[in-house]
Amino acid sequence: MSLTPATIRRLMREITELKNNPPEGIRVVTSEENMLDLTGIVEGPEQTPYAGGYFRVRFQFTHEFPTAPPKCWFATKIFHPNVSSAGEICVNTLKKDWQSSYGIGHILVTIKCLLIYPNPESALDEEAGKLLLEDYDAYCSRAKLITSVHATPRIRPPEFQTPSTEKEGESSTTSIPVSVPTPAMMPPPPHITLPVPISASSPRKFSPAPPSQPLQSSPANTLPSSLSTSTVSSKDGKERLSPFGTANSNVAGPTAATTTKAVKRSAASASSGTEKRKKALKRL
């Protein structure tokens, strides 16, 4: 087997990708001595007679790859119309429908689909093809028996212990637990005190007003002591208190001054009248 460096690099990239991100139900195993000594493992699809089985498919790359398809065969015994007793596979992808862009992953996915939809018209195993057409239940029983004997291990292959990228994607979107709060889990609402409206019929209570302070005298509303009283002379010469002498303590300053001037004028007029009477008496 002599492959070009470009073909080897291509196969190495694809093998690495299949190991890191394997499709659902498909794994690849390589030899430690030769990376191109490749074996594919196909898990039997559910709801088929091959469910529970793990089928190994061997690859052999020739110098014509990728122009021509690699040689592939079942290393695990299987009862299938399109697989011969020697393990040869009859599928158009490995024959006339081959394209150079196809790779290892495409071949393994095609073989997995062949386990789901067998084609009895191009059968390599005539017994299996005839039984599939005439008695499907008998075909399924025979296929399940061969699968349980030759393809079902006691322990799942270690290559399938790690989930595939498709399962990881499904689990990331469907298996996220979402907790829905129930009335028992919900916290109690905060205590809110609402104001109580006062109806028109209910009597209102008013707090008593603080006691008023007594008025205090100030220079603006207090008359000076000199203007508090005044004396006037009567006709008989005796001094009497003027009724205008006492000022109201609540009268402002200008009003008290006007009252004082009126008292002085009345006293002056009274004294001048007295003088005139004295002069008239002297003349007589």
As annotated, the active-site residues are 90
User: What pairing do the DSSP bridges indicate for beta strands 54-60 and 71-74?
Assistant: antiparallel
- SS3 state of residue 2: coil
Phi, psi dihedral angles at 232 (to 5 degrees): -130, 155
Cα–Cα dist 25/42, whole Å: 6
The neighbour count for residue 35, using CB atoms within 10 Å, is 13
- SS3 state of residue 26: strand
Phi, psi dihedral angles at 9 (to 5 degrees): -65, -40
Radius of gyration of the CA atoms of the chain, in A: 63
* DSSP letter string, 188-247: PPPP-PPPPPPPSSSPPP-PPPPPPPPP---TTTS--GGGS--EEE-TTS-EEE-TTSSP
Residue 267 tokens, joined? 């006293």
Angle at 277 between CA 275 and CA 282, to 5 degrees: 95
In contact, 120 and 167? CB cutoff 8 Å: no
Q: How far apart are the first and last CA of the chain?
A: 182
